[in-house]
Amino acid sequence: MENKYEVVKSQIKEQLLATKIKPGEKLPSIRAAAKRWTCSVNTAIRAYQELEKEHLIYAVPKSGYYAVLRSASSAQTTIERIDFSAASPDPQVMPYKDFQHCLNRAIELYEDQLFAYSDPQGFFSLRRELEKHLAHSQVFAEPSNICVVSGGQQALHLLASMPFPNGKTAVLVEQPTFHGMLRSLELLGITTLGIERTMDGIDLDELERHFRNNQIKFFYTVPRFHNPLGACYTEAQKKEIARLAKRYDVFILEDDYLADMEISGKTDPIYSYDPSGHVVYVKSFSKIMLPGLRLATVVLPSSLMETFRMFKASCDSSTSVLSQAALELYFKCGMYEHHAEMIRERYRLRMECLADACRRHLPPTFRFEIGKAGIFSRTLLPESINPNDLIAALHHQNVRITSTDQSYLRTFKRDNGLRVSIIQTDADQIERGIALLAETAAALEQKQKKEGLWRVTDWRE
């Protein structure tokens, strides 16, 4: 049986959704509502408060309650939006309840440790769990070489900031690459060089020339499920990168942010081919779990650990201990691997849908290569289409997508590409979104032909 306030709330909500109470219109006063529905003032207040929580009405002090102003298409826009631009996990598959259980249990077990300053390197019992977890990916490290950080971005920023024992100061990055790393390097004023990355990898001879001729502190690389390309290195390429790092005393900063998306049990990180201690391994948990927890791990060679600890401590003293303790329990009870397996399969199927939709809808002038896993891929447009024009036109049709422009150094030649993310889409949205992409691009080309506006200059330069 419904409570009285639920009856009142339901009837008012029905009027709001049917616009019998128009957007911006004032609702009956609390006393008038109580009289109308023959209920107490407290019941009317409770009903209004619940409607306010659902953002259907809002309160104006000393005036009363009003219906929220909504455009006629707002509800439809929310439903119809197709987001190929997202990098955050799909909210529908986040393990809220499971992690809430781990948070509650962590407070019970570690209550005396959770709200005090902690080791900058991380909660020791979590580092022991991470030792076991990382070993499954052929990353073998003692807890003393593992550090817990407040998200992968913090790790990248700290490593870019700190001195390395090779005494070198420049950083080499793939082009294109993760824009968050480029932003940190630019803000820190660090000399940054680029090397072209394609779906086939990098030119290893060019990599060696960089290592031999330039003062490279470290080479930043995303070896698998690259952002924005979606590309992966071969085993031979990873072995050669590790060999060159040792020969020229250059460190490798391996950003393995999507390690849990790997569908091949035979694929190992660069770290596993490095016996010389020249690879720093970074793994984030943001794409699998709740990104707001801000948790990632870094595996460092002993030669870097003390400096990294010092920089980490000066940055935030320590990563949230409550989040760390909950993650430890999440690993221990097997929830992490169970959730990762579900996410892995879900995103794999979406990448299959994307590849199929692109084959059927995109014309031959578009170039795309889509991996079997991960979350990103790049689509190269014909030179006649300006990506920013296409993005703007798609935006008007509630399709969100981004160019690869922000993934490049200012001085490096850019491609004419779009980054496509499947992380917050489903099969139907992928199908409709790619079809709209093809239709919109064709309409844009027709308009340019008609108006004589074929691109002759790259206005981004």
180-225 tens-digit pLDDT: 999 999 999 999 999 999 999 999 999 999 999 999 999 999 999 9
Average pLDDT score over the chain: 88
Does any domain span residue 82? no
Phi then psi for residue 273, to 5 deg, are -105, 15
Confidence of residue 453 (pLDDT cuts 50, 70, 90): low
Say which amino acid occupies 446. Q
Which residue, 52, 67, 82, sits at the end of a domain? 67
CATH number of the domain enclosing 23: 1.10.10.10
Residues 55 and 192 in one domain: no
pLDDT computed for residue 2 by the predictor: 56
138-176 core/surface letters (b: 16 or more CB in 10 A; e: else): ebebebebbbbbbbbbbbbbbbbeeebebebeebbbbbb
Is 79 a residue whose pLDDT tops 50?
Answer: no
Question: Domain check: are 306 and 354 in the same one?
Answer: no
CATH value at residue 420: 3.90.1150.10
Residue 416 lies in a domain: yes
73 — pLDDT class (breaks 50, 70, 90):
very low
pLDDT band of 459, cuts 50, 70, 90: very low
**146 with 173, same domain?**
yes
Is 74 contained in some domain? Answer: no
Interval 64-90 mean pLDDT: 69
Verify that 329 and 385 share a domain, yes or no.
Answer: no
230 closest CA partner among 391, 437, 380, 386: 380
Of 50-64, 204-218, 365-379, 417-431, where does mean pLDDT reach its minimum? Answer: 50-64
User: Both 277 and 355 in a single domain?
Assistant: no
Q: What percent of the residues of the chain are helix, what percent strand, and what percent coil, each to the nearest 5?
A: 45, 15, 40
Whether residue 136 contacts residue 256, with contact meaning beta carbons closer than 8 Å, is answered with no
Q: Locate all alpha helices (DSSP H) within 143-269, ordered by sequence.
A: 152-161, 179-187, 204-213, 235-248
Assess if residue 89 is contained within a domain. no
Residues 131 and 202 in one domain: yes
- Domain end position, chosen among 293, 313, 333: 333
The answer to the question of residue 442 being in a domain is yes
Please give the average per-residue pLDDT across 424-434, as a whole number.
93
Structure tokens belonging to residue 350: 């979406």
Do 217 and 314 reside in the same domain of the chain?
A: yes
Mean predicted confidence (pLDDT) in 406-432: 94
- Going by pLDDT thresholds of 50, 70 and 90, the confidence category of residue 77 is very low
pLDDT at 270: 97
Identify whether 271 is part of a domain. yes
377-397 average pLDDT score: 92
Residues 320 and 341 in one domain: no
Beta-carbon contacts of residue 5 (< 8 Å; ≥ 6 apart)? 39, 43, 44, 46, 47, 50
Q: Could you tell me if 327 and 343 lie in one domain?
A: no
Domain span holding position 444: 337-451
Tell me if 30 sits within 8 A of 40, measured CB to CB: no
Same domain, 296 and 308: yes
The predicted model gives 163-190 an average pLDDT of 97
* Both tokens assigned to 377: 């891929």
**Last residue of a domain, which of 50, 67, 84?**
67
Q: At 275, which CATH number?
A: 3.40.640.10
Write down the pLDDT at residue 457: 43
- Evaluate whether residue 237 is within a structural domain: yes
For residue 299, pLDDT over 90 is answered with yes
Where residue 338 falls among pLDDT bands split at 50, 70, 90? Answer: confident
pLDDT at 134 over 70: yes
Same domain, 161 and 220: yes
Question: Would 87 be classed as within a structural domain?
Answer: no
Strand, helix or coil for residue 281: strand
Query: What's the pLDDT score for residue 458?
Result: 45
In this structure, of 65-74, 191-200, 324-333, the range with the lowest mean pLDDT score is 65-74
283, 350: one domain = no
- Residue with the bigger pLDDT between 27 and 63: it is 27
Q: Total domain count for the chain?
A: 3
Report the pLDDT value the prediction gives residue 452, as an integer from 0 to 100.
64
Amino acid 460: pLDDT:
43
Judge whether residue 252 has pLDDT over 70.
yes
